[in-house]
Amino acid sequence: MPSVFIKTYGCQMNERDSEAVAAQLVAKGYSLAPTEAAADVVLLNTCSVRDLAEQKAINKMRNLVGTARKDRPGQILGYLGCMAQSRGKELIETLPDVDLVLGTQKFHRAAEYLDELLAGKREHIVDIGVEAKSEATIREHLLNGSAKTSVSAFVSIMQGCNQYCTFCIVPYTRGEERSRTIPDLLTECRELVARGVREITLLGQIVTSYGKRDIPSLEGKSAFVQLLDAIHGIDGLDRIRFTSPHPKGYGDDLVEAYARLPKLCESAHIPLQSGSDRLLKLMHRGYTRARFLDIVEKLRRSKPGIGITTDIIVGFPGETEEDFEQTLALCREVQFDNAYIFKYSPRRDTPAAAMPDQVPQSIREERNHRLLDLVNEIAARKYDGFIGRRVQILVEGPSKKNAARYTGRTRCNRIVLFDGSARHQGQLMDVIIERTGSFTLYGDPAVVGL
Ligand code: SF4
């Protein structure tokens, strides 16, 4: 049987899609190749969120065609995911050696199309159509004994987004919001727990909009909170997380869920994007800075010690120095545990790309540096605050950089390294934090077993 190598660009959703495709192919008898050079099939699962991510995948494919392919003439090459969806057959027109272009609603068709290509029945396949119920096809897991995947797993609960933020290409590449049913998700989560998973992260482009159109509110609880309640009831599951939410989704029912559901970890990644109301409006975000601050305040009251992280865009069209100062001021006020900062990257066919007053690259760079300095300074102070504290971690496995060390995560989603061994893997345990590194905490193994 053939072997496959999948390289993934972009977000956690893409990682999850790649895992599901790999698991579907393994179930059909494929093996997973250790490198692209050793594979019969190489698939690039692509990202379109920034131009740089698209260019990386295109350059990678050019390299595969130009060099690797000389050594393996029968190798099948394919693009999957967001860029495949948005560019379609144009990708084969520019690089005719590419065999397969598979859109975001077609991941589950990979095995059948690869069979046809490997058997020489078709020369090229491009499928980027819309497919009803495709959201329920991202469900197979590898859990191949690798430490990380067997303790903690990601579950795709919905696909698509209807928010249409003016800078974002996702609604065009992922389509309309489509949610899986609660019974279907419960079955998948129960199976994972039966296979040793102790922490589940619910995934989607806008998870807080889960089930909005199909599942009515019940006793003041949105569909998403009903799903959290249902998953919380699974015996043997210790931790629940989710990403990415939208600030609009933090109603009182979700805020209260943090206090009510002990398995729901006290960490929240709430994308802010800008601290200026004027820009939030131009971005079509649907909230104000006052509303954002209100959510943070309520969450901290509901769950003291909650870790709050965010995403921020600098250099959005029309962003003035005053707008940017408002973002800096909001960061000082909230004191985020961490923030992912993105320099605005125009995406074709999005409203923001055609807006006047595009901010020069040099100013985007400069604001990026200034914000990064502030965010890092706050984050370092917060990390230092952990020294001497006892925290619970879920041990994921050996550290990638140093196999003598084991790695785990706190409930507020910080990475902790400690001198551990295989017996700690998959355990929930307490450690005392001794020191900090760059976005890492170092725990004292002396408390293991206390
Ligand atoms: S909510 Fe998120 S995924 Fe949806 S359009 Fe806005 S940024 Fe994109």
148: helix, coil or strand?
Answer: helix
Q: Is the CB of 280 under 6 A from ligand 1?
A: no
Q: What is the pLDDT of residue 450?
A: 44
Tokens for 183? Answer: 């019974």
Distance CA 436, CA 137 (A): 41
Q: Is the CB of 269 under 6 A from ligand 1?
A: no
Q: Is the CB of 170 under 6 A from ligand 1?
A: yes
Which atom of ligand 1 is found nearest the CA of 285? Answer: 6
Residue with tokens 């003598």: 404
Distance 287 CA to ligand 1 centre (A): 13
Q: How many CB atoms lie within 10 A of CB 137?
A: 20
Distance CA 100, CA 118 (A): 11
Mutate to test the pocket of ligand 1, among 164, 169, 170, 287 (most ligand atoms within 8 A of CB): 170
SS3 content of the chain, % helix, strand, coil (to 5): 40, 20, 40
Maximum separation of any 2 CA atoms in the chain, in Å: 64
| C-alpha closest to that of 430 among 384, 400, 395, 382 | 395
How remote is the C-alpha of 39 from its chain's centroid?
Answer: 26
Distance 76 CA to ligand 1 centre (A): 33
| C-alpha closest to that of 296 among 282, 275, 313 | 275
Which atom of ligand 1 is found nearest the CA of 205? Answer: 3
Q: What is the pLDDT of residue 439?
A: 84
Q: What is the pLDDT of residue 67?
A: 77
Q: How far is CA 108 from CA 11, 68, 323, in A?
A: 19, 27, 44
Tokens for 102? Answer: 């598979």
Q: What is the pLDDT of residue 349?
A: 87
Mutate to test the pocket of ligand 1, among 161, 173, 279, 345 (most ligand atoms within 8 A of CB): 161
* Residue 156: its H or E element: strand 152-156
Query: Which pTM does this prediction carry?
Result: 0.94
Q: What is the pLDDT of residue 168?
A: 96
Angle (CA) 124 129 130, round 5°: 160
DSSP 82-134: HHHHHHTTHHHHH-TT--EEE-TT-GGGHHHHHHHHHTTS-S-EEE----TTG
Distance 137 CA to ligand 1 centre (A): 22
Mutate to test the pocket of ligand 1, among 11, 158, 168 (most ligand atoms within 8 A of CB): 168
Distance CA 253, CA 111 (A): 41
Q: What is the pLDDT of residue 447?
A: 57
State the 10-residue block means of pLDDT for the chain, 450 residues long. Answer: 96 94 95 94 95 94 85 92 96 96 97 96 96 92 62 95 96 96 97 95 97 95 98 98 97 97 97 98 98 98 95 98 98 97 94 97 98 97 94 92 90 94 90 91 71
According to DSSP, the β-strands at 100-102 and 338-343 are unpaired
163 φ, ψ to 5°?
A: -80, -30
Distance 351 CA to ligand 1 centre (A): 13
